[in-house]
Structure 1
Amino acid sequence: MSAPPIPEDYTAVVGLSRLLAAMNNLPADGTGINQLVEQSHNLMGTWVPPVLKDYILGLQINYFGDYPNSTDLAPSIIFTVVFFIFFCAHLFVFFMNYSRGHYFYVSLCAAFYCAIRIVGFALRAVWSQDITKAQVGISGEVFLILGSIIIVSFNLILAQRIFTWRHPVGGSRKLFWNTMFTLYGVVAGIIAMTIVAGAVPTLYFLSNHVYTNYKICTEASAILIILYSLTSLSLIGLAFFFKPTSKDINLYTYQPWWIESFGTFYYVKSGEPQRAAATFMKRNSNHRHAIRVIAATHHHSNMVEGLSNQRGDLKHNHSMAILLISTVLIFIGALLRAVVVFQGNMQKNTSNVGKPVVMYICWGLFEVIINVLYLVGRIDLRFYRPGRLPKEVREIVTAQQSAVQSENEEDDDEYIDSSGERTPVEAPYSRSMEKEVHDDDDESEFRF
């Protein structure tokens, strides 16, 4: 009896791959590429035939941006250099502000995000030169995904400050802060889930059932990332959908009145924030416990007056435009990545959405635009919130205040409206309201 005919597509590479699969208890296709590379090296030495690499690679689940080859070296290096420039620019802005007493730690977050992008694209450049470096590849993929999530958190912090500016009462309550902290905790879980779901199938052999569960986990994380990318717009929408309440209007807010402009090359005068904090030694309790919000010349609440009001028109139309544009660009990247994840194609069957050029546009070009908006639009001025008053100022009680009433205290029954005129407060600011609001603010301090 003759042996059955061998199919034409059953080549030596197919036979070798099936032999390796049998040696590993017939795992699901697309899993354990890291171990397959090691076994291939054990069988053939340091050099693995390209035809074998291409065949095994074609069976892998496709990533957003595909697996790199030699043509990916140039764009990966370009974006590595570009994000290094942004990294230096954000650090320059931070230290320039820091030297003047203007502490905006969100700039450090931006620099950290750029550092993650640098590592991600640098690892992709290394991987493009040797596709068998699976550990380098999965590390680069993790850093690229991580950067796309961190920048969403960055936007959410800025949107949170817009919300508190519009609604100082609601934005300073424990419920609001606890909700935000819970959201950040959920995001940390999403990051962990995304990393595990992406790394484990690459590093280890899995059965078809377990591999399917990991795919479902990756799909769930992709959906959650899409929803998370829209949180900043949702928060801004809530801020402007609901009008400020009477409590918001009657509540005192502490704005950085020393910021005179949002210009690209403007920096605050050295020591101004500290001099402003020192003036609260002679202010009344309402002022010392005012809610700290971002700078604006159009506002709805009572504002603690500064020593000087010589500043330009500080509106937040451009601030919201920065958040809107950046959120839309981030959302597009998250949406296209989710499409690739739900397609679940093998690398050999990748669609146009999974091509490298799409990834370079979404995670490269779009985020370059976002960083330019951050730097040119000067988010360190637009979204700066004054720091906490010194401890000796916060602990002052009424009996310890100066007997000389400051000019600002004499005007406590008035507030500055959007036209710059003094208007009587409709309802007096009660001590009970002060305690209700400011106890929450003091106990739930947010450091960003």
Structure 2
Amino acid sequence: MVVQSTTNYDYTGATAGLMDLLRYLNNYPALGTGIERLANQGHNLLGSELPIEFLKYQVGYQINLIGSYPTDTDVVPSAIFVAAFAVLLFVHLGIFIINCSRHHFFWVSIGWVFYCILRCIGFGLRIPFGKDVTRVPTGIASEVLLILPSIVLVSLNLILAQRIFTWRHPVGGSRKLFWGFMITLYIFVLAIIGMTIACAAIPYIYFLSEGVYSSYKKVVQASAVLILAYSLTAISLIGLAYFFKPTRKDENLYTYQPWWIESFSPFYFVKKGAVYEAEETFMKRNHNHRHAIRVIAATHHHYNMVEGLTNQRGDLSHNWSLGLIAITTLFIFVGSLCRLIVCFQDRYTREQSRLCDPVAMYILWGLLEVIINVLYIVGRVDLRFYRPDILPAKVRAIITAQQSIEQSDASSEFDQYSSEEEISDTESSEGFDLTPNVQKEGFVKNAKELESDDDEEFRF
């Protein structure tokens, strides 16, 4: 059955009377709530195919949404964006597979693959929902899966910004306090997502009173504010990274950068096995080198970088990296801002503003996010924001001497005793002894016996 929905929400008096009857039978709930149950009751009363007048009334009194409720005219644009995000999905997945074949593991790419899957499903569910608006569960799933991907995109952007912060402030960016704050933020966002899904879906499923319905709408408005603020976290973290200058501890700390990345070109891939070659060099390094802070690659830095086998690479500047995060954050922020405005308008669909037109949604959540993904792919974020993997346990377990600019005590004592001429010439065939004027301490405290009488040097 295909039920044509409409954007003309005018209805007759008879339709209003029938809808009021259904409301009285259900304890007179707030308009716009319990649409799933009303659809089931309508099917029981009027058959499998509901009259268009019924749909005009019910859809017209639903809460306004960005993109509104789809009609049969939404099938083609939704299918176009399903295809677009499917192509982006395979490109992200292809880059990840090629990188893995070269032992270059950039796990954030899996996040973009997951994001594209959500976008494909969200726009894909809009197609059957546009053909039959009585498919309420399909509509709820479509709405949720159109809101959720933008939050996922913000989280992935925040991970990239966190790596820039750690590159500029390796001491602060590697502290447990900083990591604890970031993990707490991600958990808090998960709670916001759960709250948004529940408060957006329940009014469609259950009948609610006016007071309860108003409370649910206020919670959705609050979550929209928090999501808007969350969309700015990535650019805020970068701002903090450059507002506060690196400290002396940052400049003196050893950092481990992926020196084998030679370019950020769209068609460049790292040399196969370069990661393993780099890890093998740490077998001969100082102990503190093996525990250097892992950061992203850059040729312009002011830290003690752990040098590799070669440092012949191009000008790996992060100006483009900062621009990528700034542009993508701006696009996501605009979409979140428009959704926030729609939430606070708090209107019925029949009274919705131009921001609720499907065209606006296709631009904000479709076109702009396609551009974001193209920027990610062409800008090669998998190279720009790659942080070396942690060294293998066998390498980290090796303990070697530390380099020091100070002269050791043993060396100084050796020089002291070798310069003295107070050792007795009364050596026996069994070895030697020290004169009473020389204390048996320090470097020659446990001196071994000489092998023969002819030896004139000490052997230690």
TM over 0.5: yes
Aligned residues: 397
Q: Deviation string for 1:142-166 (max 9, x for gaps)?
A: 0010001100001000000000000
Counterpart for residue 303 of structure 2 = 301
**Unpaired segments of 5 or more residues in structure 2?**
1-9, 406-460
Matches of 1:294 and 1:313, distance apart in 2 = 14
Whose Rg is larger? 2
Q: Can you list the C-alpha shifts for 1:4-44, whole angstroms capped at 9, x where unaligned?
A: xxxx9861111110011011100000101111111000101
Shift of 1:283: 0.5
| Matching residue of 1:45 | 47
* Pairing 1:136–2:138 present: yes
Matched residue, 1:315 = 317
Aligned residue among 276, 287, 290 for 1:288 = 290
CA positional deviation for 1:64: 1.0
Q: Equivalences for 1:14-25 in 2 at 5 Å?
A: 14-25=16-27
What is the one-letter code of the residue matched to 1:120? G
User: What displacement does 1:70 show?
Assistant: 1.1
Q: Which amino acid aligns with 1:381?
A: L
Q: Distance in 1 between matches of 2:27 and 2:276?
A: 68
CA contact (8 A) 2:263 2:316 kept: yes
SS at 2:369 equivalent: helix
TM-score by length of 2: 0.85
The one-character-per-residue Cα deviations of 1:162-218 (angstroms, maximum 9, x if unpaired) are 000000000000110000001001100110011001000011111111101100000
SS in 2 for 1:113: helix
Distance of 1:318 and 1:351 partners within structure 2: 37
What are the equivalent positions in structure 2 for 1:224-373 lying under 5 Å apart?
224-373=226-375
Which secondary structure state, in structure 2, belongs to the residue aligned with residue 95 of structure 1? helix
Alignment of 1:200 onto 2:211: no
Equivalent-residue separation in structure 1 for 2:303 and 2:288 (angstroms): 13
Paired AA for residue 225 in structure 1: I
Q: Deviations over 1:306-351 (max 9, x none)?
A: 1011110000000010000000000000000000000011010110
1:178 counterpart residue number:
180
Alpha carbons of 1:95 and 1:9: their partners in 2 closer, same or farther (altered >3 Å)?
Answer: closer
For 2:381, the equivalent position in structure 1 comes to 379
C-alpha deviation, 1:279, in angstroms: 1.0
Q: Deviation per CA, 1:396-425, whole angstroms, max 9, x where unpaired?
A: 2236x9xxxxxxx799xxxxxxxxxxxxxx
Distance 1:56 1:46, change over 3 A: same
1:78 aligns with 2:80: yes
Structure 1 CA distance for aligned equivalents of residues 243 and 272 of structure 2 = 38
What is the distance in 1 between the residues matched to 2:148 and 2:11?
40
**1:113 aligned residue:** 115
Partner of 1:187: 189
CA RMSD of aligned residues (A): 1.5
Distance 1:20 1:142 in 2: 28
1:360 aligned partner, one-letter code:
Y
Give yes or no for contact 2:11–2:53 (8 Å, CA) kept in 1. no
- The SS at the match of 1:253 is strand
Distance 1:278 1:228 in 2: 41
Counterparts of 1:64 and 1:135, CA distance in 2: 18
CA–CA separation in structure 2 for the residues paired with 1:277 and 1:205: 62
Task: State the secondary structure of the residue aligned to 1:169.
Answer: helix
Structure 2 Cα separation of the partners of residues 231 and 10 of structure 1: 50
Counterpart residue number, 2:163? 161
TM-score by length of 1: 0.87
The 3-state SS of whatever aligns with 1:398 is coil
Percent identity, aligned pairs only? 58
SS of corresponding position for 1:153: helix
Residues 11, 57 of structure 2: 8 Å contact kept: no
CA contact (8 A) 2:11 2:56 kept: no
Partner of 1:440: none
Quote the Cα distance in structure 2 between the aligned partners of 1:410 and 1:363. 57
What is the distance in 2 between the residues matched to 1:295 and 1:323?
17
Counterpart for residue 429 of structure 1? none
Q: Which runs of 4+ in 1 moved over 3 A?
A: none
**Residue type matched to 2:167 in 1?**
W
Amino acid at match of 1:59: Y
Matched, 1:54 2:56: yes
Deviations 1:373-401 (A, max 9, x none): 000000000000000000011112236x9
